[in-house]
Amino acid sequence: MSIISIKNIGVPIIKQIINSVELAVVNKILKKGDKLPSVNSIRNKYSISRDTVFSAYKKLKMRGIIQSVPGKGYYLISENITTSKKIFLLFDELNAFKENLYNSFISKLEPNIDVDVFFHHFNYDVFRNAVINNNGNYSYYVIMPGNLNNIGPIINFLPDKKVYILDQIHDDLKKYPAIYQNFEKGIIDCLNELRSKILNYSKMILVFDQLKQPESIKKGFKAFCYNNKIQFEILSSIEDRSIEKGNVYMLLEDSSLISVIKKARIKNMKVSKDIGIISYNDTPLKEIIENGITVISTDFNEMGTKLAEMITNRLKVKIENNISLTLRNSV
């Protein structure tokens, strides 16, 4: 097995060399007294400069992990490295909710665990490259697939026992431990709680980005409308549509929320009186604007805490993170 791995163009080469040595120690591939790959062998294999390799080895020497023996090379002298585990965390995109999840996650981990964050932005090739290029470099792999389909064969490259799935479980990912949302059930339950208020409006409008949003949200929305004989419409965007009195808008993206509020003000419409608004995923700002926006959301802080507990305790389970309604003044 190759000890040094340089695959990810988004991570400095020096850091990748250091990470490779640390991971080899953690995985018992390198033990005290073992010789490390020579500077020249690394340079030749990866077409990098000798100075880059020397710099990485110098940092390891300064930490007391390796030493150089003149005329012989570099040897491991300590298995007591600061970082005992490294976690690969692949998000779909960056937003306030992911930041809350991340902060909660790292705050509950042991202090000697490093987390590297990557984003695939709902792009299959970016997702594939991130996974393949980092295979073997981490102790655990936490993957948020988003709406990407047919990614099971890619994730199968990773060691099964080191993979955790976050937020959405596709059919080809069900063998992995996960913390997830049951979007369809959560939407139906929360809309049922709002049923008496929704019936005050003549029509429901869901603004749904098929690229980013879970299909099960749309399924739950449609099931609620059909079951309650509510007229509805599903739009991919609200930007080119005027808003109409008597509609209640279910808005999954904050950009759609801002757009609807702006359009309402231009038409002198009052939120909760002339139109209703139901937003998705809570933020502190939604407690304030328009005297409070009603929100359907999971608890991302709780999701991060549970994820940390799963990894710390090596739990191989599936945990549903609850979706709940926060009723405010927008319906």
Please give the class, per CATH, of domain 13-76: mainly alpha
Name the CATH topology of 85-181+300-322.
Answer: Rossmann fold (3.40.50)
Looking only at Cα atoms, what is the longest distance across the chain?
84
The full set of domain ranges for the chain reads 13-76, 85-181+300-322, 183-297
Coil, helix or strand at residue 54: helix
Instruction: Report the C-alpha gap between 218 and 321 in whole angstroms.
Output: 19
Q: Do domains 85-181+300-322 and 183-297 have the same CATH topology?
A: yes
Give the pLDDT of residue 213: 94
Give the pLDDT of residue 41: 94
User: Could you read off the pLDDT of 248-284 as tens digits, one per residue?
Assistant: 999 999 999 999 999 999 999 999 999 999 999 999 9
Give the pLDDT of residue 91: 97
> What residue ranges of the chain have pLDDT lower than 70?
1, 9, 82-84
> Quick count: other Cβ atoms within 10 Å of Cβ 236?
11
Q: What is the DSSP string of 156-204?
A: TTS-GGGEEEEE---GGGTTS-EEE--HHHHHHHHHHHTHHHHTTSSEE
User: Could you read off the pLDDT of 210-232 as tens digits, one per residue?
Assistant: 999 999 999 999 999 999 999 99
Residues in the chain: 331
Q: What's this model's pTM, rounded to 2 decimal places?
A: 0.76
At the fourth CATH level, the homologous superfamily of domain 183-297 is: Response regulator (3.40.50.2300)
